[in-house]
């Protein structure tokens, strides 16, 4: 049974290219914001955090 995006991408006849997000870093940032709010610190609601995703190139991106 396939349970991950990676598993889906790699289990098909043509392996799909996908985008990998830094889920750990997203979680760390979210936890940090929550801690700041719980400690009464001012948190900007319009703060933009940019994380660079990773392109995981597989067979679907290769020329045929």
Dist. CA 10–CA 57, nearest whole Å: 11
pTM of the predicted protein model: 0.60
Predicted local confidence at residue 36, as pLDDT:
92
Q: How far is it, in rounded angstroms, from Cα 15 to Cα 9? A: 5
Q: Are 31 and 38 in contact (CB under 8 A)?
A: no
In the DSSP assignment, the letter for residue 25 is: H
The answer to whether residue 64 scores a pLDDT higher than 70 is no
Each residue's pLDDT tens digit, 2-52? 888 888 888 888 888 999 999 999 999 899 989 999 999 988 878 788 889
pLDDT at 63 over 80: no
Residue for token pair 């045929």: 64
């Amino acid at each position: 049974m396939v349970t991950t995006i990676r598993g889906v991408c790699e289990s098909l006849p043509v392996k799909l290219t996908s985008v990998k997000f830094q889920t750990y870093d997203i979680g760390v940032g979210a936890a940090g914001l929550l801690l700041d709010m719980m400690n009464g610190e001012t948190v900007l609601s319009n703060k933009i955090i940019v994380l660079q995703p990773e392109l995981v190139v597989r067979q679907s991106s290769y020329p045929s």
